[in-house]
Structure 1
Amino acid sequence: MPMSDRPRLVFTDVDQTLITCKSLFEFLDYYAAGRYGAEGARRAAAVREDLCARTAAGLPREEANRVYYRAWRREPVAAVEEWARRWFAERSADKGFYVRRVAEELRAHRSQGASIALVSGSFRPLLEPLAEAVGAAHVLCARLDRCGRVYTGALVGAPVIGDEKRRLVRELLARYAHIDPADCYGYGDDASDLPMLGEVGHAVRVGALAGG
């Protein structure tokens, strides 16, 4: 069977791989300023500055993800979902939003029958509009804990970075026993994506494509 006719999965990181920005920070700024005005913008900037300082001091990225999500404590899930769709609609209209070559390659994979999986440390409200736009069938991402209708600021399970990305990729591959991982593709831009990329036969480092 020709390679293009074989069933396969295509895994892609999101920030600075499929899209050119760091969506978690951009969305936090957008949401905080939009809902809470100048005070919200100040709080979002403080979160960013604190994380930058901690990361520079050696805080692992997994822990940095946990710190980031604490900013969403007590935020209503419905409001976050609404504002995430609003952010995506506005931001994705920008010509430079997508990493063009990666988006084109994903379209080509889909036209050949492949299923796309987004694999990201981001969370579902921010990723679902993107998944719909690119036709991704799967979203493997951070899960935020809830208490009723609001977020608690805690993660359920591990941050989706490094080895956790690999675990989620393996888990999805196990659900498709008829698909050979050697026929699958992976796209990532960072060293933390290497564990995920190591699970597929065709790994693409796309840092050089950002902005292309």
Structure 2
Amino acid sequence: MRRVKVAFFDVDHTVTTSGSMSRLLAYYHAALGHPRRDFEDRMCELKAMTAVGCPREAVNRAYYAGLEGLDAEVMAAMAGAWFDAELATGGFYHEPAVAELRRHQKHGAYVVLVSGSFPAPLRLIAEDLGADEFLCTVPCVERGRYTGDLDGPPMIGTAKADAALKVLLQRDVPARDSIAYGDHVSDLPLLRAAGSGVVVGGDHRLRTLASAEGWTLLPGTPPAPDLRLPAWSAPAHPSPWAARGRTAQPFVISARYDMSESA
């Protein structure tokens, strides 16, 4: 068996049990006292795009378009509190995938996280897991605020494969000495770019393809634990779209609000 020199891991619903994008956004809005309904409406819009068959890349772009006007430094600072809250649930990480990541680290592999999520949450996950690098969607920031545009393509589909091949080229590692982990059909380009693949959960189509390719199967992630958000209160900084006179209420974000890296 060839030694794995580079291991690529999708993040949301592969290494973690939840979607970092939606849950961090919920935490951000709750902590700043923005109306809860704003967040819920936004998630409904993104889920509706997915339901009618919009490409995963388009839904990913729509998520970041919705960040327009939000303070990037506040988001980054809020990510620390969000991450602590996720860890406090006791079920943030998907242990079978993390065990694989640790195994590769033990044997000296270069570990790379590859995700459609963005730096604010991913930097914390990468640091906590001791990953060597993370590749992600990069929102544009001007004058300290998200513009709603992206610096480059969403890190979805073929973009993941292209980014992974660039890492292999930079490190002078042949593809046959790499492995990739993913949970969704959009991860297929990444899985096929690597020397071998591992499917974490996945739908029937993906698991059938895994069997045909001779890839390893890991159990899917369990439902993400509920995430307790800060009590919703009067906003310290008003939301760009906040309606006046609305009273925010404390609540807990559950799996029904959770979305993968596509949104």
Q: TM-score, normalised by structure 2?
A: 0.75
Pick the aligned partner of 1:158 from 147, 153, 164.
153
Which deviations, in whole Å up to 9, do the C-alpha atoms of 1:152-176 show, x marking residues without a partner? 0111111111111111111111101
- Mapped pair 1:139 → 2:128: no
Mapped to 2, the partners of 1:3 and 1:133 lie a distance apart of: 28
Pick the aligned partner of 1:21 from 18, 24, 41.
18
Shift of residue 111 of structure 1? 1.1
Mapped to 2, the partners of 1:191 and 1:54 lie a distance apart of: 17
Aligned residues: 206
Mapped to 1, the partners of 2:180 and 2:147 lie a distance apart of: 32
Pick the aligned partner of 1:185 from 179, 185, 189.
179
| Residue aligning to 2:98 | 103
Residue 198 of structure 1: SS of its match in structure 2? helix
Q: Which moved further from structure 2: 195-204 or 51-60?
A: 51-60
| Residue aligning to 1:129 | 124
| Residue aligning to 1:36 | 33
| Residue aligning to 2:230 | none
Shift of residue 3 of structure 1? 3.9
Counterpart AA for 2:222: G
Residue 174 of structure 1: SS of its match in structure 2? helix
Residue 185 of structure 1: SS of its match in structure 2? strand
Mapped to 2, the partners of 1:184 and 1:96 lie a distance apart of: 28
Residue 122 of structure 1: SS of its match in structure 2? coil
- Mapped pair 1:210 → 2:221: yes
Mapped to 2, the partners of 1:61 and 1:182 lie a distance apart of: 28
Which deviations, in whole Å up to 9, do the C-alpha atoms of 1:106-148 show, x marking residues without a partner? 1111111111101000000110000001111111000111112
Counterpart AA for 2:70: E
Q: Compare relative contact order (CA 8 Å, sep 6+) and give the higher one, 1 or 2.
A: 2
Counterpart AA for 2:180: G
Compare CA radii of gyration and give the structure with the larger one.
2
Pick the aligned partner of 1:170 from 165, 168, 171.
165
8 Å contact kept, 1:100–1:211: no
**Taking every aligned residue pair, what percent have the same amino acid on both sides?**
35
Which deviations, in whole Å up to 9, do the C-alpha atoms of 1:44-90 show, x marking residues without a partner? 11110111112212221111111111221111111010111111111
Structure 2 runs not aligned, ≥5 long: 202-218, 224-263
8 Å contact kept, 1:85–1:129: yes
Pick the aligned partner of 2:190 from 185, 192, 196.
196
Residue 66 of structure 2: SS of its match in structure 1? helix
TM-align CA RMSD: 1.5
Mapped to 2, the partners of 1:197 and 1:54 lie a distance apart of: 25
- Mapped pair 1:61 → 2:61: no
Shift of residue 15 of structure 1? 0.5
Structure 1 runs not aligned, ≥5 long: none
Counterpart AA for 2:187: D
Mapped to 2, the partners of 1:122 and 1:105 lie a distance apart of: 21
Mapped to 2, the partners of 1:183 and 1:170 lie a distance apart of: 12
Pick the aligned partner of 2:114 from 119, 139, 155.
119
Counterpart AA for 1:158: P
Shift of residue 202 of structure 1? 2.0
Normalized per residue, which structure has more helix? 1
- The structure 1 segments of at least 4 consecutive aligned residues displaced by more than 6 Å after TM superposition are none
